Amino acid sequence: MRRIVVVGTSGSGKSTLARELSRRLGVPHVELDALHWEPNWTEAPRDVFRRRVEQAVAADAWVVDGNYLSVRDIVHTRADAIVWLDYSMSVVFTRVLVRSLRRAIHREALWAGNRESLRLTFCSRDSILLWVINTWRQRRREFSKLFADESGRNRRLLRFRTPRESDEWLQTIGCEPFDERARLGDLVV
């Protein structure tokens, strides 16, 4: 198992988990947001985004994080495992709030040089906080269906309902060569 997708609602910690997982496994980390966003928070044209993703997942090993439906067919068909961070609304909202404040205050550059701002976070229809409120329940239903659809395929499915569960799992994965039988358990429901 050398190709893992980490999914979950915005703010669940997909990128953080994927980054650490890729480090421990010694494989590239692919952040779909980085392939999707252009300067000034402009979305890449669909064909450009799909081509970027196709190139990124052509490698033999990787950890991808992201939920873009427009490239799910590309990423999931190559994946050996799907990890779902299915955290509560309170955990996700708190994480997004803290992350957005930190990014805005420190003017952290994100994908294509984009930056979050206090105005964008609190006073905009494009607020990530509103996005989480409006999509959390929808994503949970979507990923439940996805897991049901994926269950017959030849890939591992792991669902973590708390950060503690995913942290404990991550601690079982060392930086030595990856042995899936020793490292990954069965589906966590």
Which CATH number covers residue 7? Answer: 3.40.50.300
Q: Considering the domain boundaries, does residue 43 fall inside one?
A: yes
Q: Considering the domain boundaries, does residue 99 fall inside one?
A: yes
Take residue 27 and report the two structure tokens written for it. Answer: 């494989």
Amino acid of residue 93: F
Q: Considering the domain boundaries, does residue 16 fall inside one?
A: yes
Tell me the whole-structure pTM to 2 decimals: 0.87
Give the pLDDT confidence score for residue 166 in this predicted structure.
Answer: 96
Q: Considering the domain boundaries, does residue 188 fall inside one?
A: no
Q: Is-contact 38 28, C-beta < 8 A?
A: no
The answer, yes or no, to whether residue 136 has pLDDT greater than 80, is yes
Q: Considering the domain boundaries, does residue 189 fall inside one?
A: no
Q: Is-contact 82 155, C-beta < 8 A?
A: yes
Q: Is-contact 63 56, C-beta < 8 A?
A: no
Q: Do the strands 37-38 and 3-8 form a parallel or antiparallel pair, or are they unpaired?
A: unpaired
Cα separation, 181 vs 184, in Å, equals 6
Reported as a single tens digit per residue, the pLDDT across 84-122 is 999 999 999 999 999 999 999 999 999 989 999 888 888
Structural domain count, the chain: 1
**Most distant CA atoms of the chain, gap in Å:** 48
Q: Considering the domain boundaries, does residue 12 fall inside one?
A: yes
* Alpha helices, H only, 59-127: 69-78, 89-106, 118-122
What does pLDDT average to over the chain?
Answer: 89
Give the pLDDT confidence score for residue 147 in this predicted structure.
Answer: 86
Half-sphere exposure of 162 (CA within 13 A, CB side): 3
Q: Considering the domain boundaries, does residue 130 fall inside one?
A: yes
Reported as a single tens digit per residue, the pLDDT across 123-132 is 888 899 999 9
Q: Considering the domain boundaries, does residue 89 fall inside one?
A: yes
Domain that holds residue 17: 3-183
- If one counts every other C-beta atom within 10 angstroms of the C-beta of residue 2, the result is 16
Cα angle vertex 89, ends 93, 170, to 5°? 85
